[in-house]
């Protein structure tokens, strides 16, 4: 497939700019759904190393509901091939292989059939069999396509059991409720594609999600909570409060920070900058693109290629190659092999910071050197993965790289962890978990020597133990160049997002042959620490919007005070007060609409302005304002304007967290 200059060029342009201008999308209503985490014991089937655990009553209930689901499916679609149907932390699912594409209408039918089965009050019966009997039984019920594989997962010597209810029988470790009638409150929620055994190379099955509770009330509460959670979705609040905008014409996953959102971002940056100054970091700036060679040295280009935007090759080079009859495939190959040079939109900041470090000779006396940058990086995320501000293609990290000696490593890691803790604590984000992300020894996606990895992993493990917070070790979660400690939080619908991160890296210093001169006058290799307490400003802000449900603390609020004159007669005094507030560097506006007072209050409430200064006839006469806040809705008496301003300044200086009314 060879192409001429024009089409080759067009193709390269196409690769570079994949965002044609299309009209703005409409945010469709999203279906009740959430990411379910499969409970550990389910691994009994998938992962024979896990010991069998007794299910809790709720798990039994949901597991039984999934069997009832499978029973109903086989009644309606006898040709369906079943895979697995475990309970999860929020419900259950069953994966089935069925040519008929299930629709939401089908779900209703299936649910109706399930209700019948519940009414039939079938008994769940356990049956233990030998391996040969199991094979025979699976063949007899015509479910050999997936169940035989699942059977093979059960190690020799372990008990093999089936569960039967009515006409349905399924390879299953259990346990179950006694009768189908125990499953009183359940609901099928949605259909999704799911690869068999979670492997992209395998066939995609149809997964039906549902949930079940001991009674109708709990189910109703769950569904209601799900609805309410959607009210604080950062995409909804971001639009309503004009915090950010994503425009098709600009490109998928590329965030436009609107003026109000920019204030939040700027405040967050100021906050972190101040901390960095105190902790001895140096601020740097680096460009958005760099030569491919740089990223070959770092390993990004080979190891991280799928996640990057296509390299940028210069026009002259392209035309020259096209004249020589170079095909697109050849070009791509040459770029890969380094025979053609180009530039890469940077996927990470580290190589640039490394080059700053390496631009000078360093003595051990200089170390640690801490280079910090709000660095914007670009990554080619799969379209199906993009999500508001939390998963995007261009984002700014509050990044820094520390170059230190082996001896300094522990205290540097501790410094970073403290910083992350401080950031989270200041914002009242206490609901996070700590993940020690290690390499998967069986994978080839990592650079560097195993010994370097071992050292780095040990250093982080020790640090996180000293930190004294609960954590879990997760192999396979490491960055390609090193292990990390991640701070992970959940969004409103239960999805987990990695925010702050601290990573130890022995590999990049080696790849870039970094060195410093030690006390012995010999060259030594420094160790690198990568860290970002927010992770990315986009993701962090998205999570923050949901965390506060749009009710930002005063120091972060785009508008901190709104002055509400009761009538136009107070406008003059309102402007005086506004000037005072502005002089105190408080973000303030006056609502001078010709609305009734109640409407002004309503508008400010809906826009979640933390403080309203009410100015009526009485206040104006005495130089007072009456404060209406989120806690104290009204009637706290009038105060002199200066005193009121003092109160606000105090809140800002303290970075006080919002105190809201008790929520139902």
Partner RNA sequence: GCCCUUGUAGCUCAGUCGGUAGAGCACUUCCUUGGUAAGGAAGAGGUCGGCGGUUCAAAUCCGCUCGAGGGCUCCA
Say which of 206, 397, 503, 651 is annotated catalytic. Answer: 397
Among positions 353-382, residues that touch RNA (CB under 7 A) are: 379, 381-382
- Round to whole Å and give the CA distance between 91 and 232: 22
Choose the stretch contacting RNA; rule: CB under 7 A; options: 46-54, 146-154, 626-634, 640-648.
Answer: 626-634
Tokens encoding 633: 């809705």
Position 495 contacts RNA (CB under 7 A): yes
Q: Which is nearer to RNA, 603 or 655 (CB)?
A: 603
> Given the structure tokens 């401080």, which residue do they identify?
422
Position 260 contacts RNA (CB under 7 A): no
Choose the stretch contacting RNA; rule: CB under 7 A; options: 54-62, 212-220, 478-486, 647-655.
Answer: 478-486
Q: Which is nearer to RNA, 331 or 478 (CB)?
A: 478
> Given the structure tokens 């008994």, which residue do they identify?
123
Contact 509, 528 (CB under 8 A): yes
- Round to whole Å and give the CA distance between 375 and 348: 8
18 belongs to the catalytic site? no
Q: Which is nearer to RNA, 22 or 285 (CB)?
A: 22
Among positions 61-120, residues that touch RNA (CB under 7 A) are: 101-104
- Phi, psi at 605, each rounded to 5°: -60, -45
Among positions 196-255, residues that touch RNA (CB under 7 A) are: 198-200, 204, 206-207, 235-236, 239-240, 246, 248, 252-253
Fill in the per-residue mask, 261 to 290: x = in contact with RNA (CB under 7 A), - = not in contact. ------------------------------
Of 178, 180, 219, the closest CA to residue 91 belongs to 219
Angle ∠(208,211,215) on CA atoms, nearest 5: 150
Q: Which is nearer to RNA, 267 or 477 (CB)?
A: 477
- Round to whole Å and give the CA distance between 598 and 580: 25
328 belongs to the catalytic site? no
Fill in the per-residue mask, 294 to 323: x = in contact with RNA (CB under 7 A), - = not in contact. ---------xx-xxx---------------
Site for RNA (CB under 7 A): which residue of 634, 653, 659, 660?
634
Tokens encoding 422: 């401080």
- Round to whole Å and give the CA distance between 450 and 172: 40
Q: Which is nearer to RNA, 466 or 621 (CB)?
A: 621
What 3-state DSSP class applies to 387? strand
Nearest distance from C-beta of residue 193 to RNA, angstroms: 3
Site for RNA (CB under 7 A): which residue of 191, 268, 318, 609?
191
196 belongs to the catalytic site? no
Among positions 318-337, residues that touch RNA (CB under 7 A) are: none
362 belongs to the catalytic site? no
Q: Compute how many other C-beta atoms are within 10 angstroms of the C-beta atom of residue 146.
A: 21
The residue count for the chain: 664
Among positions 413-432, residues that touch RNA (CB under 7 A) are: none
Contact 495, 35 (CB under 8 A): yes
Say which of 147, 234, 265, 401 is annotated catalytic. Answer: 401
Residues ≥6 apart with Cβ < 8 Å to 451:
none
3-state helix, strand, coil in the chain (%, to 5): 40, 25, 35
Nearest distance from C-beta of residue 552 to RNA, angstroms: 15
- Round to whole Å and give the CA distance between 623 and 582: 17
Angle ∠(216,219,221) on CA atoms, nearest 5: 110
Choose the stretch contacting RNA; rule: CB under 7 A; options: 27-35, 112-120, 400-408, 462-470.
Answer: 27-35
Contact 395, 536 (CB under 8 A): yes
89 belongs to the catalytic site? no
Q: Which is nearer to RNA, 322 or 625 (CB)?
A: 625
Position 618 contacts RNA (CB under 7 A): yes
Of 529, 501, 533, the closest CA to residue 420 belongs to 533
99 belongs to the catalytic site? no
Q: Which is nearer to RNA, 193 or 468 (CB)?
A: 193
- Round to whole Å and give the CA distance between 245 and 262: 11
Site for RNA (CB under 7 A): which residue of 136, 320, 633, 660?
633
Query: Cβ-count burial of 635 within 10 angstroms (0-12 exposed, 13-18 middle, 19+ buried)?
Result: exposed
Choose the stretch contacting RNA; rule: CB under 7 A; options: 32-40, 53-61, 329-337, 407-415.
Answer: 32-40
Position 157 contacts RNA (CB under 7 A): no
Tokens encoding 18: 């994949």
Site for RNA (CB under 7 A): which residue of 6, 10, 13, 24?
24
Among positions 561-590, residues that touch RNA (CB under 7 A) are: 566-569
Q: Which is nearer to RNA, 102 or 169 (CB)?
A: 102
Say which of 350, 391, 435, 651 is annotated catalytic. Answer: 350
Site for RNA (CB under 7 A): which residue of 78, 157, 468, 598?
598
Q: Compute how many other C-beta atoms are within 10 angstroms of the C-beta atom of residue 475.
A: 15
Position 30 contacts RNA (CB under 7 A): yes
530 belongs to the catalytic site? yes
Tokens encoding 376: 């914007």
Among positions 444-473, residues that touch RNA (CB under 7 A) are: 445
Of 603, 601, 658, the closest CA to residue 633 belongs to 601
Say which of 260, 391, 530, 600 is annotated catalytic. Answer: 530
- Round to whole Å and give the CA distance between 354 and 523: 17
Of 62, 56, 51, the closest CA to residue 86 belongs to 62
Nearest distance from C-beta of residue 481 to RNA, angstroms: 7
User: Which residues carry out catalysis?
Assistant: 350, 379, 397, 399, 401, 484, 530
């Amino acid at each position: 497939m060879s192409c001429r200059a024009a089409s080759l060029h067009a193709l390269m342009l196409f690769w570079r700019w994949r965002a044609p201008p299309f009209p703005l999308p409409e945010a469709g209503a999203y279906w009740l759904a959430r990411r379910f985490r499969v409970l550990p014991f389910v691994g009994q089937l998938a992962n024979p190393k896990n010991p069998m655990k007794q299910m809790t009553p709720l798990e039994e209930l949901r597991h039984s509901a999934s069997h009832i689901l499978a029973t109903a499916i086989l009644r309606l679609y006898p040709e369906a091939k079943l895979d697995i149907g475990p309970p999860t932390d929020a419900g259950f699912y069953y994966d089935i292989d069925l040519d008929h594409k299930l629709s939401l209408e089908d779900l209703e039918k299936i649910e109706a059939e399930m209700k019948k089965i519940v009414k039939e009050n079938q008994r769940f019966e356990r049956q233990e069999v030998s391996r040969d009997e199991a094979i025979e039984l699976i063949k007899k019920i015509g479910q050999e396509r997936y169940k035989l594989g699942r059977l093979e997962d059960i190690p020799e010597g372990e008990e093999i059991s089936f569960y039967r209810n009515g006409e349905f029988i399924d390879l299953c470790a259990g346990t179950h409720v006694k009768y189908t009638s125990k499953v009183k409150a359940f609901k099928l929620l949605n259909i999704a594609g799911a690869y068999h055994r979670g492997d992209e190379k395998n066939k995609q099955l149809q997964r039906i999600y549902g949930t079940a509770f001991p009674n109708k009330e709990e189910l109703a509460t769950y569904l209601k909570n799900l609805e309410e959670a959607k009210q604080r979705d950062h995409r909804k609040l971001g639009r309503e409060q004009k915090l950010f905008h994503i425009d098709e014409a600009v490109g998928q996953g590329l965030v436009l920070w609107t003026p109000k959102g920019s204030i939040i971002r700027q405040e967050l940056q100021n906050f972190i900058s101040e901390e960095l100054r105190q902790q001895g970091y140096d601020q740097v700036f680096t460009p958005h693109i760099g030569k491919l060679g740089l990223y070959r040295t770092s390993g990004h280009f080979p190891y991280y290629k799928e996640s990057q935007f296509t390299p940028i090759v210069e026009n002259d080079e392209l035309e020259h190659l096209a004249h020589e009859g170079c095909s697109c495939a050849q070009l791509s190959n040459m770029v890969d092999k380094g025979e053609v040079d180009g530039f890469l939109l940077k996927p990470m900041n580290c190589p640039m910071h490394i080059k700053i470090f390496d631009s000078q000779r360093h003595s051990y006396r200089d170390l640690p050197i801490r280079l910090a940058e709000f660095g914007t990086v670009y990554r080619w995320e799969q379209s199906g993965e993009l999500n508001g501000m939390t998963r995007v293609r261009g984002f700014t990290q509050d990044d820094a790289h520390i170059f230190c000696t082996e001896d300094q490593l522990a205290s540097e890691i501790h410094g970073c962890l403290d910083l992350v803790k401080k950031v989270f604590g200041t914002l009242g984000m206490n609901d996070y978990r700590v993940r020690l992300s290690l390499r998967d020894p069986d994978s080839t996606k990592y650079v560097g020597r195993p010994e370097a990895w071992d050292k780095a992993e040990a250093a982080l493990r020790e640090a996180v133990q000293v930190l004294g917070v609960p954590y879990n070790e997760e192999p396979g979660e490491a960055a390609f160049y090193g292990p990390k400690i991640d701070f992970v939080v959940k969004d409103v619908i239960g999805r987990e997002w990695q925010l702050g991160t601290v990573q130890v890296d022995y590999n990049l210093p080696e790849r870039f042959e970094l060195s410093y001169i030690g006390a012995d006058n010999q060259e030594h290799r420094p160790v690198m620490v990568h860290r970002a307490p927010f992770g990315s400003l986009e993701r962090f802000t998205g999570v923050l919007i949901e965390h506060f449900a749009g009710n930002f603390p005063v120091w972060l609020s785009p508008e901190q005070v709104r002055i509400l004159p009761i009538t136009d007669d107070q406008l003059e005094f309102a402007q005086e007060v506004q000037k005072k507030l502005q002089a105190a560097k408080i973000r303030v506006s006056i609502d001078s609409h010709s609305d009734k007072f109640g409407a002004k209050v309503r508008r400010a409430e809906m826009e979640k302005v933390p403080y309203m200064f009410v100015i009526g006839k009485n206040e104006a006469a005495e130089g007072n304002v009456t404060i209406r806040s989120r806690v104290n809705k009204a009637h706290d008496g009038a105060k002199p304007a200066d005193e009121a301003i003092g109160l606000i300044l105090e809140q800002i200086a303290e970075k006080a967290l919002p105190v809201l009314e008790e929520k139902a």
